[in-house]
Amino acid sequence: MRPYLLMLAGAFAFSLMGILTHAAGRVFDWQIIALARSGTALVIALSLAAAARSELVFLRPRTLWIRSIAGSLSVLCNFFALAHLNVADALALTNMFPVWIAVLSWPVLGRAPGRDVWISVFCAMVGVGLMLKPTGEGGLGTLLAATGSVTSAVALMGLHRLKHIDANAVVVHFSAVSVVILLGVLLVQPGARPFSVVLSGLQSDGWLLLGVGLGATVGQLMLTRAFAAGAPARVSVVALSQVAFAMVIESILWQRTYELTTLTGIAMVLGPTVWMLLRRPLRAEPENGG
């Protein structure tokens, strides 16, 4: 039971991260929230690397950069989605990456997808369509959440090829690249709120940003330990419980109710994900790009 309990704890931490991100979105721009998440992870990763005396890497190998850039794009997409969508919807969409891993195995590993993969992709896309908001930032959030699941798949496939590099070094590289990219986004696309408003928000609601960073870090630690102790496919299915946790918390905190089309969309997205996990177990140790 140990790996499943660890994964349940990790899933609960990720769902809390999503809830705090959505709440923080009312005070801070999503770029600030994502930066807080990556900045917290960088500080903790550097501390762990220093304590373990891990040898850090920078320029090589090229796969390390692919993993870090893809993971950073996932952070961008996922946090925009969490700030603008209902949390359960965003988590369901961003956790669709096992379907894309199966598809990307064709060009990357030379393994042509079978009929079950294409049926799963079609089913998941119909689910995304049911969850899609036709206008506004909700529609963009849905599309970016689905895009984030694709970049997460790329990041995970890259992670599988980096097994010979110390895990602390990989996390430090990813976190550093993510911080740099997010700072660049802030410079190119400044937030809608003036800097004075952001400073005022930090004084009253800065704990939300700290909670986002800690939730992501605790979730990642629990996830890593769970995958080290249990069968990856079964543990990955348990990880999807974060969607259920988010639905319960949203219902309690914000009295959210769920339309039949939304519930159907979530089921059509998560169903193929579970199928791909059980049929094609992940061989790489996952690391959530959000």
**pLDDT, tens digit, 9 for 90 and up, residues 152-206:** 878 776 666 666 677 677 778 888 888 998 888 877 776 666 565 566 666 677 7
Q: pLDDT confidence of 38, banded at 50, 70, 90? A: confident
Q: 6 with 219: CB under 8 angstroms?
A: no
Q: pLDDT confidence of 143, banded at 50, 70, 90? A: confident
What distance in Å separates the CA atoms of residue 33 and residue 29, rounded to the nearest whole number? 7
pLDDT score recorded for residue 161: 66
pLDDT score recorded for residue 19: 92
pLDDT score recorded for residue 224: 65
pLDDT score recorded for residue 16: 92
Mean pLDDT of the chain: 78
The one-character DSSP state at 85 is: S
What distance in Å separates the CA atoms of residue 157 and residue 152, rounded to the nearest whole number? 9
**Gap between the terminal Cα atoms of the chain:** 26
- 274 versus 281: the higher-pLDDT residue is 274
Q: 128 with 50: CB under 8 angstroms?
A: no
- Our CA dihedral for 269, 7, 97, 63, rounded to 10 degrees, sits at 180
- Of 9-23, 62-76, 108-122, 153-167, which gets the smallest average pLDDT? 153-167
